[in-house]
């Protein structure tokens, strides 16, 4: 990949707690209040001269949408998972855009913001297609789950000791469909909100036609692909901690300010970063660097601006 001329172009991957905090119901009012706080970091970077793509998670929101679909069965047409993802991507994008426009105007900055629905291409032969592991939707009894398995063709598994749930594939993203449109919006000076929830998974037929896939793509991996596709030198992955920790939760816990890809991969192999928490973020950051990106940062939204100055966060570099 050639060296990017966009020295201050970045993708900001908002963590789930940026929209819905732990323990909250996830009402629209709560989400707006949370966004008022969490999006302040985006404004700081715009003021510093960054061109920005904002991505975000949608776990609680897509779960609630699946519950609505279940409750309306027989009263309204069913919705496949890719269409539900598109609905939520648009709805959350609208909310984020409203908040950003208001904040930009209050700071005397150009309120140029656009929400772009994004399709993320996946390989129809990805191994996860035959071994789905991503839990989605509400909990069921085993009897209910088995009924849906036989009647609807779902794959179901027990989610720890909490009950039974549907599982879908989580294939790796291999490209973004709207690369050209996204680049044009950035060049026009817009903050672009896109790739929400990992994007809408699509696969190409043998004739090149796009078809929706009943799957969920990891949001941070999609953010990596987006950053590489728009030639952004930096990827900022926001989560619930200001710095990555080694030996987390033990007396030997240590915060790390910087690590190389080689070190990060070694820590991953040693089990320092579990698959259910920090592991996917470390993997996404490594893939960004390995794919030709400049550097990746993992921190929380409250410390993003100070992390850019080197006072917080964990940087992963070549």
Catalytic entry in 195, 199, 281, 313: 281
Mean pLDDT of 70-95: 95
The strand order across the sheet containing 119-122 reads 173-176, 119-122, 200-204, 210-212
Q: Which of 204, 219, 173 is nearest to 62 (CA)?
A: 219
Measured N-to-C along each axis, helices 28-38 and 81-106 cross at an angle, to the nearest 10 degrees, of 50
Mean pLDDT of 293-302: 97
pLDDT at 1: 34
CB 133 within 8 A of CB 167: yes
pLDDT at 22: 85
Query: What are the residues whose beta carbons fall under 8 Å from the beta carbon of 8, sequence distance 6 or more?
Result: 48, 49, 50, 51
Catalytic entry in 219, 229, 245, 294: 219
User: How far apart (Å, rounded) are the C-alpha atoms in residues 24 and 59?
Assistant: 13
Q: What is the pTM of this model?
A: 0.94
Catalytic entry in 26, 63, 134, 155: 134
* Residue 16 confidence class, pLDDT cut points 50, 70, 90: confident
Q: Is 17 a catalytic residue?
A: yes
DSSP string, 69-81: HHHTBTTB----H
Residue 5 has pLDDT above 70, yes or no: no
Kindly state the DSSP code that residue 62 receives in the 8-state scheme: H
pLDDT at 230: 96
Q: Is 103 a catalytic residue?
A: no
pLDDT tens digits for range 237-272: 999 999 999 999 999 999 999 999 999 999 999 999
Q: Is 147 a catalytic residue?
A: no
Q: Tell me the pLDDT of the chain averaged across its residues.
A: 94
pLDDT at 28: 95
Tell whether domain 9-116+176-196+216-317 is in CATH 3.30.420.40: no
pLDDT tens digits for range 26-50: 999 999 999 999 999 999 999 999 9
What is the three-state SS of 176-197?
ECCHHHHHHHHHCCCEEEECHH
Surface-to-core class of residue 101, CB atoms within 10 Å of its CB (0-12 exposed, 13-18 middle, 19+ buried) = middle
What is the three-state SS of 114-156?
EEECCEEEECCCCHHHCCCCEEEEEEECHHHHHHHHHHHCCEE
Catalytic entry in 17, 26, 59, 155: 17
The strand order across the sheet containing 164-168 reads 134-140, 164-168, 155-158
* Residue 2 confidence class, pLDDT cut points 50, 70, 90: very low
The CB density around residue 26, as the number of other CB atoms within 10 Å, is 15
Q: Is 90 a catalytic residue?
A: no
Q: Is 134 a catalytic residue?
A: yes
Residue 10 has pLDDT above 70, yes or no: yes
Surface-to-core class of residue 190, CB atoms within 10 Å of its CB (0-12 exposed, 13-18 middle, 19+ buried) = buried
Q: Which of 93, 74, 79 is nearest to 191 (CA)?
A: 93
pLDDT at 17: 84
Mean pLDDT of 100-126: 96
Residue 3 has pLDDT above 70, yes or no: no
pLDDT at 163: 93
Give the strand pairing for 254-256 and 234-238.
unpaired
């Amino acid at each position: 990949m050639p060296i990017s001329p966009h020295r201050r172009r970045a993708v900001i991957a908002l963590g789930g707690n940026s929209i819905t905090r732990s323990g909250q119901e996830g009402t629209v009012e709560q989400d707006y209040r949370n966004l008022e706080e969490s999006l302040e970091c985006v404004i700081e970077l715009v003021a510093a001269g960054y061109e920005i793509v904002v991505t975000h998670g949608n776990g609680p929101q897509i779960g609630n949408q699946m519950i609505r679909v279940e409750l309306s069965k027989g009263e309204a047409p069913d919705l496949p998972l890719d269409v539900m993802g598109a609905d939520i991507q648009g709805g959350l994008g609208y909310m984020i855009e409203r908040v950003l426009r208001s904040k930009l105007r209050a700071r005397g900055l150009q309120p140029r913001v656009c929400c772009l629905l994004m399709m993320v291409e996946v390989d129809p032969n990805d191994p996860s297609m035959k071994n789905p592991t991503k839990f989605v939707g509400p909990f069921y009894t085993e009897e209910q789950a088995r009924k849906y398995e036989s009647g609807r063709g779902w794959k179901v598994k027990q989610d720890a000791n909490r009950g039974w749930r549907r599982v879908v594939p989580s294939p790796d993203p291999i490209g973004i469909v709207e690369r050209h449109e996204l680049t044009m919006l950035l060049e026009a000076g817009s903050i672009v909100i896109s790739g929400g929830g990992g994007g809408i998974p699509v696969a190409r037929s043998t004739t090149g036609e796009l078809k929706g896939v009943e799957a969920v793509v990891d949001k941070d991996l999609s953010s990596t692909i987006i950053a590489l596709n728009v030639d952004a030198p930096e990827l900022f992955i926001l989560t619930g901690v200001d710095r990555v920790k080694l030996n987390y939760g033990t007396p030997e816990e240590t915060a790390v300010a910087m690590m190389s890809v080689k070190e990060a991969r070694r820590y991953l192999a040693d089990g320092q970063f579990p698959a259910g928490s920090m592991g996917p973020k470390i993997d996404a950051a490594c893939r960004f660097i390995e794919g030709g990106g400049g550097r990746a940062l993992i921190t929380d939204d409250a410390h993003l601006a100070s992390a850019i100055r080197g006072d917080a966060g964990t940087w992963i570099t070549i």
